[in-house]
Amino acid sequence: MKPPPFGYAAPRTLDEALAALAAAPGGKVLAGGQSLIPLLSMRLAAPPALIDINRAAELDTLRTGDGGVRVGALARHARVERSAEAAAVQPLLRRALRHVAHPAIRNRGTVVGSLAHADPAAELPAVLAVLGGTVEAASPEGRRTIPADDFFRGPLECALGPGEIAVSAFFPAAPPRTGSAFAESARRHGDYALTGVAAVVTLGEDLRVTAARTGHLGIAATPLVLDLTAAAGSAGDWPAAAAHVRARIDPDADIHASADYRRHLTGVLTERALRAAAADALRRAR
């Protein structure tokens, strides 16, 4: 399959990229190309121009500090997955990234590109959402910080405006006595998940549960974040929390799974992930 014709710009700085985007209304940013190029090749998208940001070295950053991990727009999945510093500050990133596609795709695809692509079945939007992270966007008018809650608008739709480029994403650090886990089910490892869940559990000084949250993928148009603190109670009743999730969600059916199967699977994975996150929190508390 062959993409439709498109213009192409290869700016060397963010400012040049913003100018190129402004000069090509309807143009698309090209980062890792692991989602955009297949869409072009299948002729599901036909932007007039691609603004290839891969030469803008200032976007190729990965920093820890200031209370979290800041991932620049050109940091590839594999770089973030392999970063010991990022894993120490926010372990959920590495846990989720292992489920994103295959190594070859992770070598090229970017974390920020995955967020901008906003696929409801993707892992990283659910991670950003459950952690309460943010995306920083730049435009010729300046910069703005978009909370995850506002960023994901619908399937393949995010809050970035036509002239905006996402320059980084910020994943807050794990607070003290907080553990996390990630679980998903896919037909083959590396495929988009039928359903998946990122769980975060916080314990008090007495080691009782003070907070339990999950971020779900594959079951709604955008990542679904649920506060399960009340459902789980301070003793951590994970089956009750999972039952609450099953009752709360309304997944779609598709050729891969019925709605009932997805609901059941989501409950199973939620209980598993919450249990693992609580065990992780306990390890970190000791």
DSSP 4: P
Looking at the Cβ atoms of 36 and 183, the one nearer to ligand FAD is 36
Q: Which residue has 């919450």 as its token pair?
A: 274
Looking at the Cβ atoms of 160 and 232, the one nearer to ligand FAD is 160
State the Cα–Cα distance between residues 88 and 230, nearest whole angstrom.
29
Q: Helices (DSSP H) in 26-154: which residue ranges?
A: 36-41, 77-82, 84-89, 91-97, 103-106, 111-117, 123-131, 148-151
Query: Pairing state of beta strands 165-172 and 68-72?
Result: antiparallel
CB of 203 to ligand FAD, least distance (A): 30
Query: Pairing state of beta strands 178-185 and 195-203?
Result: antiparallel
Looking at the Cβ atoms of 105 and 268, the one nearer to ligand FAD is 105
* 55-84 binders of ligand FAD (CB under 6 A): 73
Exposed/middle/buried for residue 33 (C-beta within 10 Å: 0-12, 13-18, 19+):
middle
Tokens, residue 165: 């480029």
Is 31 one of the binding residues for ligand FAD (CB under 6 A)? yes
Is 197 one of the binding residues for ligand FAD (CB under 6 A)? no
Stretch that binds ligand FAD, among 63-71, 86-94, 119-127, 219-227 (CB under 6 A): 119-127
Looking at the Cβ atoms of 109 and 236, the one nearer to ligand FAD is 109
The angle formed by the CA atoms of residues 226, 252 and 191, to the nearest 5 degrees, is 85
Burial 191-206 (b: 16+ CB within 10 A, else e): ebbbbbbbbbbbbeee
CB of 141 to ligand FAD, least distance (A): 15
CB of 161 to ligand FAD, least distance (A): 10
State the Cα–Cα distance between residues 149 and 260, nearest whole angstrom.
27
Tokens, residue 93: 């990133």
Is 10 one of the binding residues for ligand FAD (CB under 6 A)? no
Among 35, 134, 202, 214, binds ligand FAD (CB under 6 A): 35
Is 112 one of the binding residues for ligand FAD (CB under 6 A)? yes
Is 165 one of the binding residues for ligand FAD (CB under 6 A)? yes
State the Cα–Cα distance between residues 164 and 121, nearest whole angstrom.
24
Is 32 one of the binding residues for ligand FAD (CB under 6 A)? yes
Is 123 one of the binding residues for ligand FAD (CB under 6 A)? yes
Q: In this chain, which residue has its C-beta nearest to ligand FAD?
A: 109
CB of 235 to ligand FAD, least distance (A): 34
State the Cα–Cα distance between residues 250 and 245, nearest whole angstrom.
10
Site size with ligand FAD, rule: CB under 6 A: 28
Is 155 one of the binding residues for ligand FAD (CB under 6 A)? no
**Residues at the interface with ligand FAD (CB under 6 A):** 28-36, 38, 73, 100-101, 105, 109-110, 112-114, 116-117, 122-124, 160, 165-166, 192
